[in-house]
Amino acid sequence: MAKPHFIIKNNMNKSSVRHIYMKDILTHDILRDVCTRITGQPDYDVAFVDNQYQDERLSKSFNKGRLATLIYDDKSAFISFSEKFIEGRDSAVQSVATAFNIFYQSNASNKELYYYFLGSGDRFETDYFYSVYRQMQTIGFQFLNPEVLSAPVISFSSIEDLIFSRRFTSKKNKSNNSSYVTKEKSKEIEIYGKTYGANKYDAAMLSFTSSVLAQAQQQHITLYEILDGNLKHMPDSCLKSLDLMGNVDVVSTNLEFEKNQFENNNSLRSPRYRVNLLDRVGLKHCPLCHCEIPELIQAAHVWPVHMIKKQPLPFDEQFSHAINGENGIWLCENHHKLFDENMITFDRHGKLDIHTSDSNEKKFILKITEEDTLPGPYHSELFFKYLELRNSSI
């Protein structure tokens, strides 16, 4: 039987500057360990190759994603390697998303996807990285040496599980969420993905994971690409994987498109507005009744769009007010409707005011309302200015 054969692109990102290559990192002991764990035998051949290497079983970009390919019997094993020392979370996410694309799009008929830890320690075990590991396992990565982690990695079981995890990590560290996943209806999943800079790979991993989970539950996904100026869409390789997955619609939300929607409608269902609100106060949660069922939570404008459009302001300034995250509150359907009808509002300290003379209506409002003051994350000078503008028209 032929020896298992590694094919590894020698150059890495910035190898010409740092003078560090894959052959410097993947020592004989590491490759032997990888080979043994995958094939059961320690002997192997290895070829560190250049950009011109071609193999029909491999992607043309097989060198990316800190990736080695091990060919044995009739199988192709794709192995992505961690960094030895964590320098930043973005590079780690970037490499695994790229590795997944190469694996998923490979023509190999009998293929497997693995991850091997080259380092260990606290920096590998942050809440953020465990969330990434869970996403990786959900989409098909197998961890070759999971014993380096102090806790097991558990795949996500559902979209709801993923949303809950993102909510948990966001509460511990708001910077952990550069992209968001939520539900609009029971079968409709929405992802708001910031696709500029390193955020695009976090958005890609979130989309891959959601796609796998949604397939099991027969749910459909809309990925809103949140573009910024002239910055790019999600990488074509990621978009190709999502297209192959078959249950993700990608909608690019550039400013010109949203401005057109604002100009032609007196209400605004703007992905950018929702992202701004998510960035400001976190995932969907009604602060009055603590409802966290995402299908029931809506983004409520404080200073309504129809009022903004009546102001003698330049168009761009009107639009800026309409998508400002400080001009919004997450409210459940009940409280949103009450707010729209001006049966409830808030004073300049964020305290609830009830505007009805009907005792039964007031009794019902009090019954469904657990909190009478908006929490601290909503409090800002501009938010209260928007409240003042709203209240002055009532």
pLDDT along the chain (394 residues), means of 10: 87 61 91 98 91 49 72 95 79 82 93 96 90 96 97 95 83 65 88 83 93 91 81 84 95 84 83 92 95 94 95 96 96 97 95 95 97 96 96 88
DSSP 353-385: EE----HHHHHHHHHT-S-SB--GGG--HHHHH
Report residue 326 as tokens. Answer: 């400080």
Q: Which residue has the tokens 């761009």?
A: 316
Q: What's the pLDDT score for residue 60? A: 46
Report the pLDDT value the prediction gives residue 298, as an integer from 0 to 100.
95
Cβ proximity of 288 and 335 under 8 Å: yes
pLDDT at 22: 87
- Alpha-helical (H) ranges within the chain are 15-18, 22-25, 28-39, 89-105, 127-138, 159-172, 199-217, 236-245, 255-264, 271-281, 305-308, 315-323, 333-340, 359-367, 381-391
d(CA 338, CA 371): 15
Q: Which residues, other chains included, contact 341 with Cβ-Cβ below 8 Å and sequence gap of 6+? A: none
Task: Give pLDDT, residue 59.
Answer: 45
- Rounded CA-CA distance 96/153 in Å is 16
**79: closest CA among 133, 50, 41, 37?**
37
Block residue for tokens 């459009």: 309
CA gap 2, 147 in Å, rounded: 30
pLDDT for the residue 228: 67
pLDDT at position 187? 83
pLDDT at 61 (0 to 100): 43
Identify whether the C-beta of residue 365 lies closer than 8 Å to the C-beta of residue 284. Answer: no
Give the burial string for 143-156 (b: 16+ CB within 10 Å, else e).
Answer: bbbeebbeeebebb
Q: What pLDDT score does 175 carry?
A: 54
pLDDT at 237: 92
Please state the pTM of the whole predicted model: 0.88
